[in-house]
């Protein structure tokens, strides 16, 4: 088993991240899972732009495969309910099992605003969950809270158009239904509705992220932003600290150019080596 594990274990960090994005849309492992989240993190400097395209690709691909799995699992039930006719509209439509579609009363302007508000709320609540200055969630509990957050938004805001709040969650299943027999109606129905749950969440996520920065994060006291770093003298310069910490995987996307950047340093618990001090970078100022 150890030999098999060594043989199949991915060595490339980016490939591991891509696998997390793909599998996360199927079984909800910890990852972005949402292009709106990835874009928003880029806009506020917490995620590299170079990774965005491949992240979004695997997010959509994961959602596509998740839809294929659901279709295979409930194939007989879907065919029995629809009478064998896979339609997007009508009393026996089944396309909404997979992707989102608006209610008959909803205008496109209202639908666009609906998706902006929902995704802005999502980012506005995700950021404090991991903000070390703002009573963050216990380590390892963040995915659970985000899951309840998505559940709450979906339950309270799904009446209008299903509360997509995730372009991958909508586009992946829509592409699947297009390829599985529902046809081009998945794109043309409801006055070409399909682009709204893609564009509006991307915009809403960025708005929510900037609202959090402008109204909360930018107002943290400077004295709270950078904790005492006297123990660093035992570890050498900042560069050696960054190299040491990066091996533990406790942070990413740190840029050190011979001097300390405006980054928060938190004292981490001593785990494997009690005689050494450990630090991790938690957020930018």
Tens-of-pLDDT digits for all 285 residues of the chain?
Answer: 666 555 666 666 666 565 655 554 444 444 678 999 999 999 998 889 999 999 999 999 999 999 999 999 999 999 999 999 999 999 999 999 999 999 999 999 999 999 999 999 999 999 988 887 877 788 888 888 988 999 999 999 999 998 889 999 999 999 999 999 999 999 999 999 999 999 999 999 999 999 999 998 888 775 444 443 334 434 444 444 444 444 444 444 444 444 444 444 444 444 444 434 444 444 443
Q: Which pLDDT value is given to residue 218?
A: 86
Q: Which pLDDT value is given to residue 231?
A: 41
Residue 28, phi-psi category: left (phi > 0), alpha (psi -120 to 50), beta (remainder): left
**282 touches 136 (CB < 8 A):** no
- For CA atoms 21, 22, 25, 28, give the dihedral sign: negative
Dig out the tokens for 38 from the structure.
């990835």
Q: Which pLDDT value is given to residue 4?
A: 57
138-162 pLDDT tens trace:
888 888 898 899 999 999 999 999 8
Burial 49-81 (b: 16+ CB within 10 A, else e): eebbeebbebbbbbbbbbbbeebeeeeeebeee
Residues in contact with 49: Cβ distance below 8 Å, sequence separation at least 6, in sequence order: 42
Q: Which pLDDT value is given to residue 5?
A: 59
Q: What are phi and psi of 254, to 5 degrees?
A: -95, 135
Question: CA–CA separation, 140 vs 283, rounded Å?
Answer: 17
Q: Which pLDDT value is given to residue 228?
A: 38
Domains and CATH numbers, the chain: 6-218 (1.20.1080.10), 224-284 (no CATH)
Q: Which pLDDT value is given to residue 2?
A: 66
| pTM score | 0.69
């Amino acid at each position: 088993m150890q030999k098999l594990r060594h043989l199949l274990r991915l060595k490339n960090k980016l490939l591991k991240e891509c696998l997390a994005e793909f599998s996360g849309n199927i079984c909800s492992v910890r990852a972005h899972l949402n292009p709106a989240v990835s874009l928003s993190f880029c806009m506020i400097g917490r995620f590299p732009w170079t990774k965005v395209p491949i992240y979004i690709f695997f997010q959509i691909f994961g959602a596509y495969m998740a839809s294929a799995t659901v279709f295979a699992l409930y194939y007989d039930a879907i065919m029995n309910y629809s009478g064998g006719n896979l339609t997007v509209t009508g009393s026996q439509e089944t396309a909404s099992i997979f992707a989102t579609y608006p209610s008959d009363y909803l205008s496109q302007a209202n639908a666009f605003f609906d998706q902006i508000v929902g995704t802005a709320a999502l980012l506005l609540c995700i950021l404090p969950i991991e903000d070390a200055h703002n009573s963050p969630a216990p380590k390892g509990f963040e995915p659970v809270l985000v899951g309840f957050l998505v559940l709450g938004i979906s339950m309270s805001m799904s009446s209008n158009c299903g509360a997509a709040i995730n372009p991958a969650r909508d586009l992946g299943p829509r592409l699947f239904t297009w390829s599985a027999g529902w046809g081009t109606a998945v794109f043309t129905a409801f006055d070409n509705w399909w682009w709204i749950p893609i564009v509006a969440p991307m915009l809403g996520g960025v708005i929510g992220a900037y609202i959090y920065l402008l109204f909360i994060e930018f107002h943290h006291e400077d004295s709270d932003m950078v904790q005492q770093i006297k123990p660093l003298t035992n570890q050498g310069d900042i560069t050696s600290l960054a190299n040491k910490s990066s091996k533990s995987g406790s942070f990413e996307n740190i840029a050190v150019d011979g001097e300390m950047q405006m980054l928060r340093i938190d004292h981490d618990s001593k785990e494997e080596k009690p005689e050494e001090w450990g630090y991790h970078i938690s957020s930018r100022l």
